[in-house]
Amino acid sequence: MKIYVKTEIKNVYHLSESNLNNKILYPRIPQNFMTRNAYEENSTKRVSFSTSISGALTGISSNLDGKEFYIHEPISYDNLILKEISNDQVPDQSLTDEIWVLNPVKLKVIGKIKVINSKSDTYKYKYGKFTAETYNWNYIDIKENEE
């Protein structure tokens, strides 16, 4: 397990349709098809982030047309425990740039975006014996006075 500090990466992002400004997220194991069926690592409690906003959108894995998301990052990177992961742990990691935070993390809002549509190319990835497809998304920044 590689654990490193902020100086080795630039920024990490967490997207939510809710404004989580000043909220603390606690590590947990996601409850979804991939973890329930052991296609995704299901023993490490974590808060999922991405090193890119595009990667974070791809990681949501659903139809995002027209949806709006708040962009969050940690208020402080001091004492943040980040774990680099592989496609063995999360099959679409190379598409999503997913990285895990292993300790509670307080968030700040740094912006808001609106998804316009999916880009024409789809991404394929394998999980177990299966192949899945996901999308990359076009989005625009939303200014405070446009809300």
- pLDDT tens digits along 23-35: 999 999 999 888 8
Q: What is the pLDDT of residue 119?
A: 84
Q: Which helix (H) or strand (E) holds 114?
A: strand 105-127
Burial (0-12, 13-18, 19+ Cβ within 10 Å), 55: buried
Domain boundaries, the chain: 3-146
Q: For the chain, which residues score pLDDT lower than 70? A: 1-8, 144-147
DSSP, collapsed to helix, strand or coil, labels residue 40 as coil
**What's the pLDDT at 120?**
76
So what's the pLDDT on residue 132?
A: 86
Predicted confidence at residue 82, as pLDDT, reads 92
CA-CA distances (angstroms) from residue 23 to 62, 75, 105? Answer: 25, 10, 8
Question: What digits encode the pLDDT tens for the residues 105-132?
Answer: 999 999 999 999 888 778 888 888 888 8
